[in-house]
Structure 1
Amino acid sequence: MCDSSSDDENSWVFYKDRPDWKDVTPVPQDDGEAGIAAIRYTDKFKDVYDYFRAVLTNKEKSERALHLTKDAAELNPANYTVWQYRRDILKELNKDLYEELEYSRRIIDEHPKNYQVWHHRRVLVEWLKDPCKELHLTELILNQDAKNYHAWQHRQWAIKTFNLFEGELNYVDQLLQDDIRNNSAWNQRYFVINNTTGFTSDVLKSEIEYTLEKIKIAKENESAWNFLRGLLLHDKDGLSKNEIVTRYCEELYAYGSRSPFLLALLVDMCDEQVGQGSGDTRYTLERALELCNSLATQYDKIRAKYWQYMADKIKNKAEGKPEPTPSSSFDS
């Protein structure tokens, strides 16, 4: 990776010109025979990494080597070897890890989607056994980008490792108030419940009511519908026998909603009921075929072949035949 900035190379003192590095022989990059797409490294980049390879080869763990890793990380913050060697030096020199935490925070501010620096911070927190700054840090990053995968991953790790679940549902609720379509926040809600109370009957009832209220606000919100499906997977009676959900869905349908997410759930309810002989006249083969046709031809055309497959699948179930092969239904 090249240093893309037109930075202060004029004022930069190259390692090769530093008196305290005269005892080190730099190790040049070996890219093999130059091809048509040879990387054009800047002089500064080559200088820093030539000396980094040298200290790596010599296994030097010193203050100057630690400073060198900082220069190397600034030029390429995604370089795994640089961060790993920096940790080796930190441990060898018994450095103040809280200072390193602060340094990692500054790098994360500059590169919030860099996996390596998030991993570096995680290791530091593990060494310190002190997660007190992690929730605040991830909140700051998520305020900039509410769907930053690395921040969410780090947050979930810290919460689960150090049992920091208290207050997390309140935080998630605030995120959903800010953006009801924030799929990451819905995922976090599931994560918290799954790792705390679990999906007991009382929790299911409460969460279903919560989710339906959110769906009322935005009926085309796929994230909320997916969360509802996830809840119903924990209902011992299945998708189609939760009266709160079925009543809401049927009312929504009766009032003219044709959200593809609503129709898809109704199809799955039919799929669950067909062949069981339950006698529920709301979820029949005929209705399943009608819904699949509506989805394929009007409301979810991009997945028309999938809905044809679902129609065939439910029809075969009703007739006691094996499921159709998906590939044959999806072929054009």
Structure 2
Amino acid sequence: MHGVRRVRQSRQAVEAKRLREKSKIEEYLNLTEDVLTRKKNKDWSKDALHLTSRLLQLNPEFYTIWNYRRSIFLNGIFPQSSAEEINNFISDDLATTMAALKAHPKVYWIWNHRRWCLENTPSGPGSEEHGEFNGWRKANWDRELFVVEKMLDADPRNFHAWNYRRYVLAGIPEKRSEKSELAYTARKIEANISNFSAWHQRSKVLTSLREGSGVSLTKLREEEFELLRNAMYTDPHDQSVWMYHRWLMGSGEDREELESEITAIQELLEEQPDSKWCMESIVYHKRLLLRNHSGSIDTAQLVADCQGLLQRLETLDPVRRRRYQAISLELSGGQRAER
């Protein structure tokens, strides 16, 4: 680091460090060989389980060992255990992997093992009277939503955590309303407008909604456009906002909606004349007008507007100059075909 004086290590210190590292590597390789040999021999003992814990602590991305660990539970531990004992094993694994997640929040295999734990938790006391999601199962699933929210507090853009959140929301016994989830993602977006994962989660929630679900889809869509306009004005250079806007617009079948959004973006462009995303979005949506509503609009004017913006984009964003030229050529070809 700058400003920090480097201390020259003695030859003895360097050699001692090398020997320590060599010892750790040898220990890891010996442990790996032991565990893989036990796996090959179908050793389903508690000793084998303990060794997988040690190895996964050293290398949490060793998916073969995660698979072996689950096989030990299913073939050796669970058949000899009561439902309460099985739940205790599951609870211990959830606690252990929670500690691992804090150190390695983006290791897929840790999240995957937590799913397995949830799906293999016994129903628990009271399930016969109140359904399978009671007792231990309900407690574990409820806790997972709290866990994943803590993980997203630590890193709001961890897509592994967002994927896991969708899994938990789909399986949790007491379903959360879509409005509740939209409010949650709105808070994440307010904290960081560039949170692609939060915008993506909103798209998942909106896609799941249907008429008759107690929510006015028309009103919800209007509110979504209002949210986007606020986000555009907050940071007109943020890509995530514009990508979500394109998704919400869809194929552009509603002419009135298209024209309304084009007008709104043009107003923003007047305030932010060098906004690449404003220009790109206007071109994109005007091309949708040309594609879907050419019979009732002034196509020549729209093509001219788009080509003017594309020329400005060539200057503003020279790295993508060829792309803008290709779009302009496509527009010219379409105009000539209509004539």
Runs of at least 5 residues in structure 2 that lack an aligned partner in the other structure: 1-16, 79-85, 122-136
Distance 1:267-1:176 versus aligned 2 partners, 3 A rule: same
Q: Is 1:134 aligned with 2:117?
A: no
Separation in 2, partners of 1:235, 1:271: 10
Paired amino acid for 1:306:
R
Number of the residue aligned with 2:206: 193
Structure 2 counterpart of 1:93: 77
**What does residue range 182-261 of structure 1 map to in structure 2 within 5 Å?**
182-197=195-210, 200-233=217-250, 236-237=253-254, 241-261=257-277
2:9 maps to: none
**Residues 158, 164 of structure 1: 8 Å contact kept:** no
**Cα distance per residue 1:22-70 (max 9 Å; x no partner):** xxxxxxxxxxxxxxxxx99712112211211221122111111110110
Structure 1 portions without partners, runs of 5+: 1-5, 11-38, 322-332
Distance of 1:195 and 1:254 partners within structure 2: 36
Cα shift at 1:159? 1.7
Range with greater deviation from structure 2 (286-295 or 84-93): 84-93
Q: Distance in 2 between matches of 1:278 and 1:71?
A: 70
Q: CA deviation at 1:254?
A: 3.3
1:274–1:283 contact (8 Å) kept in structure 2: no
Say whether 1:64 aligns with 2:57. no
- Identify the match of residue 73 of structure 1 among 50, 56, 62: 56
Q: State the Cα deviation string for residues 235-292 of structure 1 (Å, max 9, x = none).
A: 5315x74354133122223345331111111112332333714234796111111111
TM-score (norm 2): 0.76
- Separation in structure 1 between the aligned mates of residue 43 and residue 33 of structure 2, nearest angstrom: 14
State the percentage of identical aligned residues. 25
Aligned-partner Cα distance in 2 for 1:254–1:177: 25
Conserved 8 A contact 1:165-1:192:
no
Amino acid at match of 1:311: S
**2:115 corresponds to:** 122
Q: Distance in 1 between matches of 2:275 and 2:229?
A: 14
Displacement of 1:165 after TM fit? 4.7
* Counterpart AA for 1:141: M
Distance change in 2, residues 1:208/1:142 (3 Å): same
C-alpha distance in 2 between matches for 1:60 and 1:115: 26
| CA separation of 1:74 and 1:283: change in aligned 2, threshold 3 A | farther
Distance 1:132 1:290, change over 3 A: same
Greater fraction helix: 2
CA–CA distance in 2 between the matches of 1:148 and 1:69?
27
Residue type at the aligned position of 1:145: D
Higher mean C-alpha deviation, range 188-197 or range 286-295: 188-197
Alignment match, 2:328: 311
Pick aligned residue for 1:152 from 141, 162, 170? 162
1:170-222 superposed Cα distances (whole Å, 9 cap, x missing partner): 21111111111211111111112112357933222111111111211111121
Q: Distance in 1 between matches of 2:199 and 2:187?
A: 11
Bigger mean CA deviation after superposition, 153-162 or 260-269: 153-162
How many equivalent residue pairs?
Answer: 284
Cα distance in structure 2, aligned partners of 1:241 and 1:58: 65
Spell out, residue by residue over 1:66-95, the C-alpha distance to the aligned partner (whole angstroms, 9 max, x if none): 101101111211111111111112223123
Cα distance in structure 1, aligned partners of 2:71 and 2:251: 45
Q: Is the 8 A contact 1:273 1:280 kept in 2?
A: no
For 1:106 and 1:293, how far apart are their aligned partners in 2?
54
Match of 1:21 in 2: none
Amino acid of the residue matched to residue 239 of structure 2?
Answer: E
CA RMSD of aligned residues (A): 2.6
